[in-house]
Chain A
Amino acid sequence: MKMIFDLDMEKCVACGACAVACMDQNDIWPNQGQTPFRHVGIVNPLPAQEGGALTVLSLGCMHCDNAPCIQACPVGCLFKDEMNLTVYDNTRCIGCHSCAMACPYGAPTYREDGRMYKCDGCAQRQKNGMVPACVRVCPTGALTCQSEESYLENKRAASIRKILQNNR
């Protein structure tokens, strides 16, 4: 079943719980120089939008459909699993950073061993019937990981709600 990560930006308050849960789940130690897989932030409006609204978001690997990191990797470390998550086996990683250069979201990180590490969508948790750590902890329900079917259904429902609201 294809799984999709989604962030409802109207619900996200950038509390950082997802980022901390991710570090806990994946044993990431920033004080030892390791880079977290998920980041939260408050994004200022672009200079052209002076006075515009702030955006808050939580950003990790987007598990893109046509993931550019997979195409970029010269040794085939990255691949898609049965849930369409972008997973990896870094035993062959040569630390060339090609995946990082291809990724528009800055998802791949590197450690002292020179190898690439990234969000694997908590594939092991999901295979065992659990939701990803970041999703589980999100207090506002902004971050979800749902099947493509349910994602599309929710999206349609949201669009219909919007149309109805606008025509009220």
Chain B
Amino acid sequence: MSGGFETLEEEFEQEKTPAGYEDRIGARDYPVWAALVHQMQALSMPDQICTGKPYPIRGMMALGLNHRIFPDSDRFREALGKLDFFVDFDLFLTDTAKMADVVLPACSSFEREEIKTYPGGFTKYYTPVIEPLYDSRNDARILQDLAKRMKFDDELLCGGYRRCIEHIFQHTGYDIGELEASPLPVKAKGLQPYRPLAYLEQGCKTPSGKLELYSEIIAVNGKEKGLEPLPKWYEPFTRPSKEWPFLLLAGVRIPNAIHTQLHKASWPRALRPDAMADISLADAKRMGIVLGDEICLYNQFGSITVKANPTGLVEEGQVYMYHGYAEADVSKLLSLQDTDPYSGFPAYKSASCNIRKVKGNAQ
């Protein structure tokens, strides 16, 4: 629907569901999430693997899983270690992939096809720039081949990426062959221009059809957990205090790392070679910290040592630490308990810590 026209993407995801699907991981912990999103909530996974409740998990097949992006990443790692069988797809042999029994090398986006829709009714069929290098493969192809080999009763999945795309786009008026041949994005045919407030005529996608301030979905699904259907202010999990005076922001991004994917790729890594925490110029001045000094970020959950990068981009009292570094994993400073009770999302930007200068910059 992101292009402003209806595809069968959501129906496709739900076409075939495994037995016991309703009891997805995390569905009991985060019932509102489970009611709205057709996925498991991975934040509940470590506990479920370790306790076997509500049911045991023995094996896992993951696509590009990185345990370091989860709060309390050591706990996540420990849980992965308890699995009987673990398959991981990845572009790189990450620390998570190293724990897998089987690692299937996925190719990069330059080596595979992909269809994408864009706001304004545009669709682009990206074709590979080069063939996949070495033994790597398109991850959609890996899934297709596995489905075939395991004789899944799933005609679409066994049919491959192109077959799935043709199915998903069947009512859009697009000819997939034409899309593939076009070097530019193609506008959907017969697209009605957006009319302001049209959703009021059709009704919103809510149980009442209205724009809800009082959420029926939360009222029904969140009742057991005591969740409020009306917007409510919750205090942050941790507020900067005397002991932990800095607000720790662990969910910020380095654009050239593309989340954590390219931390190990030499060229983008060269733009910012060291694991660094960004701190404000005022805090740096007060604490006698200069660029490149080794500093320790610590709180009640853990500590990491990184280099300091005083910058005018950060407000006083805040620390920006980027995630996914093997040598300085900021997720060790986050608690797996501090999650949003509605969505299950972790508090990447609601933690606190302190800073200690370890060593001055030798230069």
Question: Which of A's residues lie within 8 Å of B, judged by CB?
Answer: 15-16, 19-20, 23-24, 29-31, 36, 40, 42, 44-45, 50, 54
Among the stretches B49-57, B225-233, B310-318, the one at the interface with A is B310-318
In chain B, what residue has the closest Cβ to A45? B312
Give Cα A50–Cα B266 distance, bound, in whole angstroms. Answer: 35
Give Cα A29–Cα B270 distance, bound, in whole angstroms. Answer: 9
Please pick, from B266, B268, B271, B312, the residue contacting A29 in the complex, using a CB distance under 8 A: B266
Cβ of B283 to closest chain A Cβ, rounded Å:
13
What chain A residues lie within 8 Å of B267 (beta carbons)?
20, 23-24, 30
Tell me, yes or no, whether B255 is within 8 Å of chain A by CB.
Answer: yes
Pick 6 A–B contacts, CB within 8 A, sort by A: A19-B270, A19-B271, A20-B270, A24-B267, A45-B312, A54-B312
Contact indicator B268/A44 (Cβ below 8 Å): no
What chain B residues lie within 8 Å of A30 (beta carbons)?
266-267, 269-270, 273
Tell me, yes or no, whether B48 is within 8 Å of chain A by CB.
Answer: no
Known contacts A30-B266, A31-B269, A54-B313; 20 additional CB pairs below 8 A are A15-B255, A16-B268, A16-B271, A19-B271, A20-B268, A20-B271, A23-B267, A24-B267, A30-B267, A30-B269, A30-B270, A30-B273, A40-B271, A42-B311, A42-B312, A42-B313, A44-B312, A50-B281, A54-B311, A54-B312
Cβ of A59 to closest chain B Cβ, rounded Å:
13
Contact indicator A36/B270 (Cβ below 8 Å): yes
What chain A residues lie within 8 Å of B281 (beta carbons)?
44, 50
Contact indicator B310/A44 (Cβ below 8 Å): yes
Tell me, yes or no, whether B256 is within 8 Å of chain A by CB.
Answer: yes
In chain A, what residue has the closest Cβ to B282? A50
Closest A-B pairs by Cβ, 10 of them: A30-B270, A31-B266, A16-B271, A20-B267, A54-B312, A23-B267, A44-B312, A16-B256, A36-B270, A30-B266
What chain B residues lie within 8 Å of A31 (beta carbons)?
266, 269-270
What chain A residues lie within 8 Å of B311 (beta carbons)?
42, 44, 54
Residue from B255, B271, B310, B311 with most neighbouring chain A CB atoms (10 Å): B271
Cβ of A167 to closest chain B Cβ, rounded Å:
32
What chain B residues lie within 8 Å of A44 (beta carbons)?
281, 310-312
Interface positions, chain B 230-269, Cβ under 8 Å from A, are 255-256, 266-269
Give Cα A31–Cα B313 distance, bound, in whole angstroms. Answer: 28
Interface size class of B (residues with CB under 8 A): 10 to 19
Residue from B266, B268, B310 with most neighbouring chain A CB atoms (10 Å): B266
Give Cα A20–Cα B270 distance, bound, in whole angstroms. Answer: 8
Give Cα A15–Cα B258 distance, bound, in whole angstroms. Answer: 12
In chain B, what residue has the closest Cβ to A23? B267
Contact indicator B312/A23 (Cβ below 8 Å): no
What chain A residues lie within 8 Å of B266 (beta carbons)?
23, 29-31
Give Cα A15–Cα B268 distance, bound, in whole angstroms. Answer: 10
Cβ of B229 to closest chain A Cβ, rounded Å:
42
What chain B residues lie within 8 Å of A23 (beta carbons)?
266-267, 270
B269-312 to A contact mask, C-beta < 8 Å, 1/0:
11101000000010000000000000000000000000000111
Give Cα A29–Cα B265 distance, bound, in whole angstroms. Answer: 10
Give Cα A19–Cα B267 distance, bound, in whole angstroms. Answer: 8
Give Cα A28–Cα B217 distance, bound, in whole angstroms. Answer: 55
B318-338 to A contact mask, C-beta < 8 Å, 1/0:
000000000000000000000
What chain B residues lie within 8 Å of A36 (beta carbons)?
270
Cβ of B334 to closest chain A Cβ, rounded Å:
26
What chain B residues lie within 8 Å of A45 (beta carbons)?
312
Give Cα A42–Cα B267 distance, bound, in whole angstroms. Answer: 18
In chain B, what residue has the closest Cβ to A52? B312
Cβ of B285 to closest chain A Cβ, rounded Å:
8
What chain B residues lie within 8 Å of A20 (beta carbons)?
256, 267-268, 270-271
In chain A, what residue has the closest Cβ to B266? A31
Cβ of A34 to closest chain B Cβ, rounded Å:
9
Give Cα A50–Cα B273 distance, bound, in whole angstroms. Answer: 28
In chain A, what residue has the closest Cβ to B271? A16
Residue from A36, A44, A45 with most neighbouring chain B CB atoms (10 Å): A44
Give Cα A44–Cα B266 distance, bound, in whole angstroms. Answer: 26
What chain A residues lie within 8 Å of B268 (beta carbons)?
16, 20
In chain B, what residue has the closest Cβ to A19? B271
Cβ of B43 to closest chain A Cβ, rounded Å:
32
Give Cα A16–Cα B254 distance, bound, in whole angstroms. Answer: 11
Cβ of B151 to closest chain A Cβ, rounded Å:
44
Cβ of B152 to closest chain A Cβ, rounded Å:
41
What chain A residues lie within 8 Å of B310 (beta carbons)?
44
What chain A residues lie within 8 Å of B270 (beta carbons)?
19-20, 23, 30-31, 36
